[in-house]
Amino acid sequence: MAYQAGLNPPGGVWDSDQKENGIIQYLAGTSIMAANYPDSYPKFWKYNTVSFLASLSTIFLLMSGLPKGKKVLTWILMATMWVTITFMALTYLESMVAILYVGQYPEDVRQITRVVKNSTYVWISIVAIVFLVHTIRFLAFVLRNVKNPQKLKKQISGCVSWCRSRVNIKI
């Protein structure tokens, strides 16, 4: 989705050069959203880029053969998924704000824009709460292992041996 949004931003692209008094105002192939919504456009691109790179990272982690039994590696994978989904939601919000822009439409469109914004913010709040719970669980896991260094050493050596087996390094 992020790739497609990058190729075809909300509102589309100019299909031909727009000239005014012999001066080119808009070049063909450039984003209409950039011209019409200069405040939302940079946010759209930032959110879309983070979402795209996080989704590529998730795919890379899955293809790298992460052992599913390792908690730390599973948490890293889960965190990249959260980043991907959260920034995709923010990209969607900026897209909807651009498409349903308040200044050019009747009153009922303002309600739709408000609903889209509030729904996205509620969803992001839920994700933040779940993230906080998992962060607390992760910190508890780390503290338990710090109190028991043998258990921590065993888990670290398991991760190190898994990494060594993947790259054939002997230490």
Residue 50 lies in a domain: yes
* Tens of pLDDT, residues 4-56: 777 677 777 778 777 777 776 777 777 777 777 788 788 888 988 898 898 88
Residue 88 lies in a domain: yes
Residue 24 lies in a domain: no
Least confident of 64-78, 83-97, 111-125, 145-159: 145-159
The whole-number pLDDT of residue 118 equals 84
Record the pTM.
0.62
Q: What is the 3-state secondary structure (H, E, C) of 103-132?
A: HHCCHHHHHHHHHHHHHHHHHHHHHHHHHH
Geometric angle at alpha carbon 128, from 8 and 10, rounded to 5°: 10
Residue 18 lies in a domain: no
Residue 21 lies in a domain: no
80 confidence band (pLDDT: 50, 70, 90): confident
Between 69 and 52, the more confident residue is 52
Residue 1 lies in a domain: no
Residue 54 lies in a domain: yes
Residue 19 lies in a domain: no
Q: Which two tokens stand for residue 23?
A: 């001066």
The whole-number pLDDT of residue 86 equals 84
| Beta bridge partners of residue 18, listed in sequence order | 26
Which residue segment(s) compose the domain that 126 sits in?
Answer: 38-167
Number of domains in the chain: 1
The whole-number pLDDT of residue 106 equals 53
